[in-house]
Amino acid sequence: MAIISCPFCQHQISDKSRVCNQCDGDIGAMSNEQIASKHRVLKIKKNQSIQVQTFMALLLFVGGFSLWYWEDKPGESWLSLGGQGLIVVGFIWYIVNRARLIFNKRR
């Protein structure tokens, strides 16, 4: 008996189980090709979600840079400090999402 992921909710279940305990998905009615297809679709959706988050991180980075760069007196106002904070958060979020994308493609 092996542990597999449910093709509907990714919950860990037995390969002998016909119905997922978490989402009540009927696994018994699906062929191996349908299960593999469902896994591919879920992987593509996850990659798309990570790419959208990566784009949002870049927007945050650019927005922070614009706040920091176009400030009249850098370092003296909350806009400058806020811009620097957005730069750091956007950059870290971008790096984390790129690593998630690489690890997701290797699985």
**pLDDT of 6-24, one tens digit each?**
777 777 887 777 777 777 7
**Dihedral-angle region of residue 21 (phi above 0 means left; psi in -120 to 50 means alpha; beta otherwise):** alpha
**pLDDT of 52-83, one tens digit each?**
999 999 999 999 988 888 766 655 778 888 88
Is beta strand 3-5 parallel, antiparallel or unpaired with respect to 12-14?
antiparallel
**pLDDT at residue 47 tops 80:** yes
Give the C-alpha separation, 28 to 12, whole Å. 15
Mean pLDDT computed over every residue of the chain: 84
Note the pLDDT of residue 39.
81
> What type of residue sits at position 83?
G
pTM of the model: 0.69
Note the pLDDT of residue 50.
94
Q: How many CB atoms lie within 10 A of CB 31?
A: 8
Res. 98 pLDDT band, cuts 50 70 90: very high
Note the pLDDT of residue 72.
66
Note the pLDDT of residue 75.
59
Query: How many residues in total does the chain contain?
Result: 107
